[in-house]
């Protein structure tokens, strides 16, 4: 993995223009503010500075500057200054205005500032006073006593607090509660206010018998689960209506798009405080997915008119299900083809749902550059050109070239997410590279095609074919350990991915399991069987993230000698981090890695926040690499270490140092790794 940054070509100049524009905008805004402020004067303000008074009336100042001073705008400005004072406890504050030519004078009479001194609750028995304080002013009584300046008295705030207390009582089932917050006593100076809140709780109502009537269609147990709320404990109209909405969504998800759910829950019918709740179901017709329309609002559209109709064709005739619609809708968003995409389900023809789309296309052609550095790869530079909408069919084609200090590579990549308008996806890659590894260098030309199908939301199965021609151009490894130096390798295999991560780029929870199996031949001779397995699990622990990983790979040779380039290697920034890249496992007398047929890797890492996007990490790794031709290879080796992460939208930058706790005579104490993306 490489540490890199992706830059668009044209935005480089745009950034310079944007910087100049922002500088000019700041100068213009500063000029407007100064001009407006020079036309506005204050008199009589004692508590607040001129700057503090101007902040809440910034919009009015802008209007005075742009549209001029008129009696109406002057009156508005005076009103908002007065509102600012009243909000901060100056209930008797007055603000008068005078227009003097091209200047406006606001004269303020502040009057006394009233602060809350105490709140007394009378009549509460079901809910503690401390809880009522939190709802009334958002703080306990102790804070009110210690920080009175933080709690100005205003009639509006007291009334709003009383409404929050009333809402609490209603949520707890006290439907007949009365809250009277009119008992206010101001000190003679008007600077302190004592508020008395009188509460008459009344009876407490609870959920009674739960019933379903009408044409329910589904078993009672399923309907109770669909309510999404527990029909026990305190009764509140809000909770009952939430159940009604949830039940309606349930019927809609089953295809009954126009289902009606009638709620009957009258406290007047309560027996012993228990309110009977009945949902009457009128499902109406069962709807199925129908046709698709699309209104493309792009000035010069490229997508074909039937593109969306083809993408949603697999739904036509199926029972309407919002979840299935959402799945394909999100798939469309992930293509990057659309700047905006909206869908409106519309009932038509009695029992069909037509999908009406409104579309605005994103720019399809792109040019990007890559600059970066990796511990093993060294300096990295590259570019990529592509078209996400080839010939208006929505299929992407791209070409990328990259230089690293280990070699040069180029590739053409074509992706067809809907092969022949089916749910199968095709990915083809044609590439060429010249590369230097430790102990040998190679030239390689290859082709790979992957065919996959998502069977379930989290399960994808696939098959692939691959062919590559490899020539070892230079080496310091003896022939017996190197294997064939010029060969054509073809393989065919199967893949599987079960992905429950919440984000494939920056996961914060969930797990993924992937596996592959392939059969290969070398120069038309059976060469080997190969299998790999990977498991990664991400578990949030407060602000921290615990990541666990396990990987294994095995090659069963069908020839006496395997090419070095198909063997497994271990050690590096994504495996056992106490070793440099490829350096865990058997090596020849010159220290060149030889690779092996069986590899395992186990990782555990805890990341924790430091500041902003900067994170710290501690980790431990273990792994092995066995080569059948090297006796004694395959021992489990370990790493313990720490690192730094910087979170980016496209993945984290990583700097790690792993210590080798079981270092041997020919091994380093540890290794640094600078790379990009998650380690496993």
How is residue 332 written in tokens? Answer: 């469309």
525 close to 563: Cβ distance less than 8 angstroms: no
E-assigned strand segments in 457-570: 459-475, 486-499, 510-522, 525-541, 544-557
Helix (H, G, I), strand (E, B) or coil at 585: coil
Q: Pick from 668, 543, 518: which is nearest to 611 by CA?
A: 543
E strand spans, 187-320: 192-200, 206-214, 260-264, 274-282, 288-296
For 420-459, letters b (16+ CB in 10 Å) and e give eeeeebbbbeebbbebebbbbbbebebebebbbebeeeee
Using CA atoms, how far apart are residues 208 and 233, in angstroms rounded to an integer? 9
Q: Point out the least confidently predicted range of 16-25, 160-169, 319-328.
A: 16-25
In contact, 544 and 551? CB cutoff 8 Å: no
Which residue ranges make up each domain of the chain? 39-109, 115-200, 207-282, 288-361, 437-444+475-676
Domain 207-282, CATH homologous superfamily name and number:
membrane protein fhac (3.10.20.310)
Which CATH entry fits the domain spanning 39-109: 3.40.50.11540, 2.70.70.10, 3.40.50.300, 3.10.20.310? 3.10.20.310
Mean pLDDT of 365-381: 94
Angstrom distances, CA of residue 97 to CA of 64, 300, 499 = 14, 55, 66
Residue in the block written with tokens 């696939």 = 462
d(CA 591, CA 587): 5
Fold of 288-361: Ubiquitin-like (UB roll) (3.10.20)
- Whether 37 shows a pLDDT value over 90: the answer reads no
Q: pLDDT tens, 572-612? A: 999 999 999 999 999 999 999 999 999 999 999 999 999 99
pLDDT band at 80 (very low <50, low <70, confident <90, very high): very high
Burial class of residue 214 in the structure, from the number of CB atoms within 10 Å of its CB (0-12 exposed, 13-18 middle, 19+ buried): middle
For the segment 131-147, the average pLDDT, to the nearest whole number, is 92
Number of H helices, E strands in the chain: 12, 29
Q: How confident is the model at residue 38 (pLDDT cuts 50, 70, 90)?
A: low
The pLDDT of residue 192 is above 90: no
Looking at the chain, how many residues does it have? 680
The reply to whether 115-200 and 207-282 are identical in fold is yes
pLDDT of residue 9: 34
| pTM (2 d.p.) | 0.74
- 345 Cβ contact list (under 8 Å, min separation 6): 257, 320, 325, 353, 354, 355, 356
Is the alpha carbon torsion for 33, 34, 35, 41 positive or negative?
A: positive
- Domain 437-444+475-676: assigned CATH number: 2.40.160.50
- pLDDT, averaged across the chain: 92
Give the CATH class of 115-200.
alpha beta
Taking residue 543's Cβ as centre, other Cβ atoms within 10 Å add up to 9
């Amino acid at each position: 993995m490489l540490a890199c940054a992706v830059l668009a070509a044209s935005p480089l100049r745009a950034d310079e223009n944007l910087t100049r524009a922002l500088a000019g905008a700041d100068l213009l805004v500063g000029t407007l503010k100064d001009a407006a402020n020079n036309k506005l004067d204050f008199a009589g303000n004692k508590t607040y500075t001129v700057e503090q008074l101007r902040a809440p009336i910034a919009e009015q100042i802008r209007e005075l500057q742009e549209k001029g001073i008129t009696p109406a705008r002057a009156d508005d400005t005076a009103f908002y200054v007065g509102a600012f004072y009243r909000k901060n406890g100056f209930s008797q504050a007055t603000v008068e205005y005078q227009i003097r030519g091209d200047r406006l004078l606001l004269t303020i009479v502040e009057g006394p500032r009233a602060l809350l001194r105490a709140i007394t609750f009378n009549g509460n028995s079901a809910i503690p006073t401390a809880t009522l304080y939190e709802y009334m002013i958002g703080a306990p009584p102790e804070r009110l006593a210690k920080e009175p300046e933080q709690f100005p008295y205003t009639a509006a705030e007291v009334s709003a607090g009383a409404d929050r207390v009333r809402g609490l009582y209603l949520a707890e089932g006290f439907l007949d509660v009365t809250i009277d917050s009119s008992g206010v006593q101001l000190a003679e100076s008007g600077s302190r206010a004592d508020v008395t809140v009188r509460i008459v709780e009344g009876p407490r109502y609870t959920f009674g018998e739960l019933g379903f009537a009408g044409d329910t269609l589904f078993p009672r147990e399923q309907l109770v689960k669909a309510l999404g709320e527990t029909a026990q404990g305190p009764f509140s109209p809000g909770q009952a209506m939430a159940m009604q909405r949830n039940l309606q969504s349930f019927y809609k998800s089953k295809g009954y798009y126009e289902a009606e759910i009638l709620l009957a829950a009258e406290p007047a019918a309560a027996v012993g405080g228990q309110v009977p709740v009945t949902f009457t179901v009128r499902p109406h017709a069962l709807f199925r997915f129908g046709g698709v329309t699309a209104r493309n609002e792009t000035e010069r559209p490229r997508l074909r008119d039937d593109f969306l109709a083809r993408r949603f064709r697999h739904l036509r005739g199926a029972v309407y299900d919002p979840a299935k619609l959402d799945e394909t809708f999100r798939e469309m968003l992930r293509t990057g083809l659309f700047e905006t995409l909206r869908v409106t389900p519309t009932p038509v023809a009695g029992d069909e749902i037509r999908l009406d789309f409104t579309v605005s296309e994103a720019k399809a052609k792109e040019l990007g550059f890559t600059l970066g550095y990796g511990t093993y790869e060294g300096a990295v530079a590259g570019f990529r050109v592509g078209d996400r909408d080839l010939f208006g069919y929505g299929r992407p084609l791209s070409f990328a070239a990259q230089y690293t200090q280990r070699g040069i590579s180029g590739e053409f990549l074509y992706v067809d997410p809907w092969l022949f308008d089916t749910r199968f996806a095709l990915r083809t890659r044609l590439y060429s590279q010249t590369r230097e590894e430790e102990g040998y260098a190679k030239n390689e030309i290859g082709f790979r095609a992957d065919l996959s199908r998502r069977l379930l939301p989290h399960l994808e199965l696939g098959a692939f074919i691959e062919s590559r021609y490899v020539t070892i151009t230079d080496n310091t490894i003896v022939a017996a350990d190197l294997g064939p130096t010029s060969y054509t390798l073809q393989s065919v295999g199967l893949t599987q991915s079960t992905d429950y991560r919440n984000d494939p780029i920056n996961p914060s929870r969930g797990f993924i399991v992937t596996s592959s199996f392939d059969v290969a031949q070398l120069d038309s001779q059976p060469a080997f069987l190969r299998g790999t397995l990977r498991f990664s699990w991400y578990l949030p622990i407060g602000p921290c993230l615990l990541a666990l990983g396990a990987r294994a790979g095995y090659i069963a040779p069908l020839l006496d000698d395997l090419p070095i380039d198909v063997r497994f290697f271990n050690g590096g920034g994504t495996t056992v981090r106490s070793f440099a890249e490829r350096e865990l496992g058997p090596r020849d007398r010159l220290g060149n890695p030889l690779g092996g047929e069986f590899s395992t890797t186990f990782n555990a890492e805890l990341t924790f926040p430091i500041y902003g996007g900067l994170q710290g990490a501690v980790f431990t790794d273990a792994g092995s690499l066995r080569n059948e031709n090297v006796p004694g290879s395959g021992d489990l080796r370990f790493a313990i270490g720490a690192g730094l992460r910087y979170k980016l939208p496209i993945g984290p930058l990583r700097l790690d140092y792993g210590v080798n706790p079981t270092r041997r005579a020919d091994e380093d104490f540890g290794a640094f790794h600078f790379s990009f993306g998650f380690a496993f």
